[in-house]
Amino acid sequence: MRVLHVSSTGKFCGISTYCQNLIKHFGHEHHHGFWGIPDKNSLGQCSGSNIIKIFDSLIEEARNYDVVHLQNEFGLFCGPYELSFGFKVFHGIIKKLRKIGKRVFVTYHSEPSFLKALGWMNFENKKCARGWKKLSKLHRKQNGVTAIVHTEESEQVFKASGFRDVEVVAHGVLERSLPKHFKIKEKESPIVLGMFGFVSPYKGHEFALSILDLLPSNFKLYVIGGRHPNQEGEEIGNLLNVANNLGLSKRLLITGWTTPEDADKHQSMCDICLVPYQTHEISASGAVTWNLTSGKPVIASNIRSFKAINKLCPDGDAMFLCHHTERLEWVWAIKRILNEPKLKHSLIDNARKYCDDFSWTNTCKKHIELYKNE
């Protein structure tokens, strides 16, 4: 079997990292090729017709393969145009792949949040909703197009919006060497709260600072990551301004982007990992899986995709979940983990078991089953 994988590129891109991990762990059972989606800057120089021509070269490449597996994130296909144009391009790609007889899989990493904002003046979201409806009609077994999502909750969202052929494959987890023991610190020692991944508004870094503001002065916030390469906003500056206004500048450290090896070193200095996401629409998160492999207890927002992870842990929760806007609850959770070794070790042990069960090796086996069965 010959499988062509289609994804964004670059070491700073989470979707690209996901796809490369997937390809790397397939082994030699089948041939796996790769076609890289041009980055936003490259597509930003193109007209709409030229963007369509660029993706026509993907169709030509796909003729040499049996299966085409696309990684989808809203916005990868629109270039300088509105998101609705990206739907038009993506819809065209799938139709053309089917026309040449290819079996198509699409991994959707986000849920369709635009369906929730359909006010009568919100013309762009209405265009996206129409594009989504057209796209959903292609995802049928008789069409040979399958959507892959990461949780059963996302599966329900997709099916409710018209998708019929939807499969669930949990986000793969890197196999890392985990520390066997968690050292309990003295109360007066610095307590480091770590956040891993790109700095984006939806990830709750400013909310984490508001939590830090309620904690004693020996608590620090360690942000292991930097601005996403596709973002042009002021995320870092805004975060530093908030820290300054709260008088927390000396208790905040932002590393900027780091290599995986350096990220390991930084994360080893943390006592608790925080994942205070402020959105409900993600289907999964690579940053979360990295935190789960850290060997440190994880506190995360009580959102669907994170509840789905705990649901897959029969021996107990892998993460301590808190309401995404109730900072007092987060303070309570932090203190509980620090003061209750049994809870702390339970979270770490359950996270370790989850990581073993949903390693990239096992995730690839699931994909192979899907490729073969369809």
Structural domains in the chain (count): 2
Report yes or no: 274 and 193 within 8 Å, Cβ to Cβ. yes
Quick check: is 180 in a domain? no
Q: What is the CATH number of the domain that holds 269?
A: 3.40.50.2000
Per-residue model confidence as pLDDT tens digits over 51-83: 999 999 999 999 999 999 999 987 889 888 988
Residues 12 and 148 in one domain: yes
What is the value of pTM for the model shown?
0.80
Q: Tokens standing for 91? A: 């819809």
Q: How many helices (H) and strands (E) does the chain have?
A: 14, 12
Domain-located, residue 184 = no
Q: At 285, is the secondary structure helix, strand, or coil?
A: coil
Domain that holds residue 131: 2-172+359-373
Reduced to 3 states (helix: H, G, I; strand: E, B; else coil), residue 184 is coil
How many residues are there in the chain?
374
- Sequence-ordered list of residues with C-beta below 8 angstroms from that of 61, at least 6 positions apart, any chain: 4, 33, 35
d(CA 229, CA 169): 27
Whether residues 52 and 168 fall in one domain: yes
What local confidence, expressed as pLDDT, does residue 28 receive? 79
The single residue listed with the structure tokens 């120089």 is 45
Q: Is residue 322 part of a domain?
A: yes
The model's pLDDT over 195-212, given as tens digits with 9 standing for 90+, comes to: 998 888 899 999 999 999
User: Do residue 205 and residue 349 come from a single domain?
Assistant: yes
Residues 353 and 233 in one domain: yes
Per-position pLDDT tens, the chain of length 374: 999 999 998 766 788 889 999 999 997 778 999 999 998 888 888 999 999 999 999 999 999 999 999 999 878 898 889 888 999 999 999 999 999 999 999 999 988 877 765 555 555 678 888 889 999 999 999 999 999 999 998 999 999 999 999 999 999 988 766 554 444 444 568 999 999 988 888 999 999 999 999 999 999 999 998 887 666 678 899 999 999 999 999 999 999 888 878 888 888 899 999 999 998 877 778 888 889 999 999 999 999 999 999 999 999 999 999 999 999 999 999 999 999 999 999 999 999 999 999 999 999 999 999 998 75
pLDDT of 256 reads 87
Q: Helix, strand or coil for residue 321?
A: strand
Let me know if residue 20 belongs to a domain.
yes
Report the C-alpha gap between 167 and 43 in whole angstroms: 31
186 domain residue, yes or no = no
